[in-house]
Amino acid sequence: MNVRSVARDALASGPVCDSCLGRLVADRSFGLSNPERGRSLRISLALADDEPFDPPADCWVCEGECARFDWWARQAEAALRGYEFDTYQVGTRVPPLLAENDRLLREEVGLDPEAGELLKREFNREVGKRLGEATETTVDFERPDVVALCDLTTDTVEAQINSAFVYGRYRKLKRDIPQTEWPCRDCNGTGLVQGQPCDGCDGTGYRYDESVEGFTAPVVCDTMDGADATFHGAGREDVDARMLGTGRPFVVEVDEPRRRSIDTDALQTAVNESADGAVEVERLRLATHEMVERVKTLPASKRYRMTVRFDGPVEADALAAALDTLEGATVEQDTPQRVSHRRAAKTRTRTVYEADGDPDGADPTCATVEIHGEGGLYVKELVSSDEGRTTPSLAGELGVGATVTALDVLTVEGEDEPFADPAFFRA
């Protein structure tokens, strides 16, 4: 490429500003800005031709937009005012006419349509550089806290505020509390049936008054001054089960937060005070968006403790032998009847890692059973057989009916090492 020939042809096409001229050779002489390249080319031609140096007053390519980088940066800063952020990105909507002008200029000088730097990219870079300096923040091309979208057609800047994330673990210490809010089926969550308060939910719209989500997400959302919040759990326990021990991993995603630098210790205290003993959270930390996917796809095993009632007396030796058979077994489970209304019919194969139990010394029809199983194992059905839909099962091995009357999740195991990865957390 002969840069003087390119510049001469570009200037012959009409008035072209220094930015648009320099952008044609943006891949030359690193360390120069496009306006510096353009001005240098213009001066070089004036000297070579012994012509007066005549900077252009107008530009047919960008129609003066390249002279407004400072103005656009101020508009972007104003659009993001009131939001706390450490990282940003700038995007630009270039009108079709200007994009076509940018293409035609390259065609006029015989360059590839992608040669040098396109107007859109220069806009993003120049406005972004000024915005970063003004706000003392860092550009992030992967997942910034905020995006300022400059629309050259409307002379407006649209602020896109990306979500913030808080990771932690919860313990559910009371039974009959779902993990997430559970809309009433009778009224579809509206609280009304034919204009009257729904009898199924007393007009609340929810089947249960309390939930783990209800105790956590609103407090996190309020602390970060967000528009809304979503609760993501690493699986879920049954409504009538407690979640004890080390707790279950979760992430609260906050939409459009105005605050990001929060005291997670104080937040943890606030959540626990709000839950008043029904739910406890711990290890709260600011996380990245990757943590949501990590939590939702966690291949963790679970350890359960169950109170089991049998339809007749069961000897200690028979219980031990049945549990020995289950330990290490590969179990086939058809979708349980109790969840068939919301789960597709499917046969799942899961492994029982450990099985142990103790009979109730005072009542031979009752026992305490502990199961450590692969994630997705339906442990209630492992005990009851669900009318033969789970094989093998404790009831099947004993030859007597068995029902879980109380269930506790003791641990959600296998996540400690990957969740320690600093890539999932914000500094």
Question: Does the annotation mark 209 as catalytic?
Answer: no
What three-state secondary structure class fits 397? helix
Question: Which residues are CB-neighbours of 51 under 8 A, at least 6 positions away?
Answer: 45
The catalytic residue among 18, 102, 145, 238 is 238
State the maximum Cα–Cα separation within the chain, in Å, rounded to a whole number: 111
Q: Which residues does 296 contact at the CB level (< 8 Å), separation at least 6? A: 232, 234
Beta strands across the sheet bearing 156-161: 138-139, 87-93, 146-151, 156-161
Tokens of 175: 């039974």
CB atoms within 10 A of CB 388: 10
What are the distances in angstroms from CA 212 to CA 24, 237, 248, 268, 305? Answer: 58, 11, 11, 14, 21
d(Cα 254, Cα 166) in Å, to the nearest integer? 8
Taking the CB of residue 407, how many other CB atoms lie within 10 A of it?
19
| Cα–Cα distance for residue pair 332/337, rounded to 1 Å | 15
Here the tokens at position 144 are 């910034």
Is 233 strand, coil or helix? strand
d(CA 135, CA 91): 17
Q: Which secondary structure element, helix H or strand E, spans residue 22, and what is its range?
A: helix 18-23
Asked if residues 162 and 143 have their Cβ atoms less than 8 Å apart, the reply is yes
Q: Which tokens in the block code for residue 268? A: 């943890």
Residues acting as catalytic residues:
238
